[in-house]
Amino acid sequence: MSRTHRVTTAALTALLLTSGAALAPPVLADSADRTPAKTAQPAQQRAAQAVPFTRAKAERAADGSHTLSWTSPAATVSVTAYRNPDGTGDGVDLGSAGGTGTLAVPAGKLPAAERWYFRLTPDSGGPLTVTERSFGIESARNFRDVGGYRTTDGRWVKYGEVYRTNKISSLTGAEQSRMLSQGISLDVDLRNYFERKEDPDSIPEGIEYRVADVASLEHGIEFHDPALMTLAEAIALGLLSGSSDLGQSIGYPFMVNFEGADHAFKDLLTGIATNDKGATVFHCSAGKDRTGWGTAVLLTILGVPRETVEADFMASNHYLGRDKAVELSWLRSAFDKADDLYGDFGTYVREGLGLDDATVQALRNRLLTP
């Protein structure tokens, strides 16, 4: 790009390697809903299939019990439990409740399973499948499902398709089996060379491993804006926001400004869009910074509202058990940098990451309910 500047100072290289790293409703609105003619559906058919829920979630307690809750305009909602997100195989009928209701599933009601998925079927409109967000991996506590979020156009991000996590270098045999049982077939590693060498992923045979190094120098040391200017701006904004970690305040805008990161996040999103063998998991070391921005980009592309994207980002504090694992100002600085460089988020996706309309549409077709 004409705005690209080459920076060769060792200090900036070290900064990049050690940094750890406005919703367009929905993003790419000019192209996101272009459905090829061969898959187009009549408006009445789409309306009949539309998921009518405005809120829905499943929570699992330590004793194995579940609590389901939802809000919808339906008169009644019936609930069936399945061992997979597709709802195939034998299901367990759990009963029904009102259109806005809750259903308790006591411990022992369901046979032992790695994970239960609950299909909520309203008396009109399409069903919605929910499950608990945490993957229940003790050695990777930030391992969680990216699904279960409602978009600005009323659709839902499907559970069981994409997972985010911290490093998975210490998985037990049982935890590896759990990954396979949930159909995970692709692992995308966002970490740098030294992190990968020190803590290589421990994944079972049958899961493909790919690297999408956010700090890679494979494509040179190039930035869209002068790096010194981005550095100065990030430090100033970090001080003004009261950031507890100026290194992170600096790292987030550089994930947008550094061209090597563009290639990494493009590879991640393309991998998710084209993985036709199962679900995808991606991660960095703590699963909160590079993984946090990658998740924010994915969810925004899918049309998830900004406040929901921010809530998912901040949830790393809960899963990691640290109040300051992430701060909202860090994420917002990355979104601000995308707006500053490209004018809006959609242009960042198209011109910065280089994702074409077909890939964006493939993500939406794969990960969203009708």
**Residue 290, CA distances (Å) to 113, 236, 248, 305, 336 in order:** 32, 22, 10, 20, 16
Q: For position 99, what pLDDT does the model report?
A: 93
Sites in the chain below the pLDDT cut of 70: 1-49, 227, 232, 234, 236, 238, 244-247
> Does residue 94 share a domain with residue 162?
no
Q: What is the pLDDT of residue 234?
A: 66
Residue 49's pLDDT is what?
Answer: 53
93 and 152 share one domain: no
In whole angstroms, give the CA distance from residue 52 to residue 120: 10
Indicate the Cα dihedral angle 8, 10, 16, 18, nearest 10°. Answer: 170
Domain around 140: 5-51+133-367
Closest CA relative to residue 53, chosen from 106, 135, 103, 119: 119
Alpha carbons 200 and 210: distance in angstroms, whole number? 12
CATH number at residue 59: 2.60.40
Q: Please tell me whether residues 338 and 259 are part of one structural domain.
A: yes
Which of 99, 125, 151 is where one domain is finished?
125
User: Are residues 246 and 353 both part of a single domain?
Assistant: yes
Residue 107 and residue 201 in one domain:
no
Residue that is last in its domain, among 84, 101, 125:
125
Q: What is the 3-state secondary structure (H, E, C) of the chain?
A: CCCCEECCCHHHHHHHHHCCCCCCCCCCCCCCCCCCHHHCCCHHHHHHHCCCCCEEEEEECCCCCEEEEEECCCCEEEEEEECCCCCCCCCEEEEEEECCEEEEECCCCCCCCCCCEEEEEECCCCCEEECCCECCCCCCCCCEECCCCECCCCCEECCCCEEEECCCCCCCHHHHHHHHHCCEEEEEECCCHHHHHHCCCCCCCCCEEEECCCCCCCCCCEECCCHHHHHHHHHHHHHHHCCCCHHHHHHHHHHHHEHHHHHHHHHHHHHHHHCCCCEEEEECCCCCCHHHHHHHHHHHHCCCCHHHHHHHHHHHHHHHCCCCCCCHHHHHHHHHHHHHHHCCHHHHHHHHCCCCHHHHHHHHHHHECC
Stated pTM of the model: 0.86
Do 206 and 344 reside in the same domain of the chain? yes
Same domain, 186 and 47: yes
CATH of residue 196's domain is: 3.90.190.10
Residues 283 and 302 in one domain: yes
Query: How many domains is the chain built from?
Result: 2
For residues 340 and 301, membership in a common domain is answered with yes
pLDDT value at position 244? Answer: 67
Judging by beta carbons within 10 Å of its beta carbon (0-12, 13-18, 19+), is residue 192 exposed, middle or buried?
A: buried
Last residue of a domain, one of 125, 144, 161: 125
CB 328 within 8 A of CB 212: no
pLDDT of residue 319: 97
- The CA–CA distances, whole Å, from 316 to 19, 60, 265, 286, 290 equal 18, 18, 20, 9, 12
pLDDT (0 to 100) of residue 246: 63
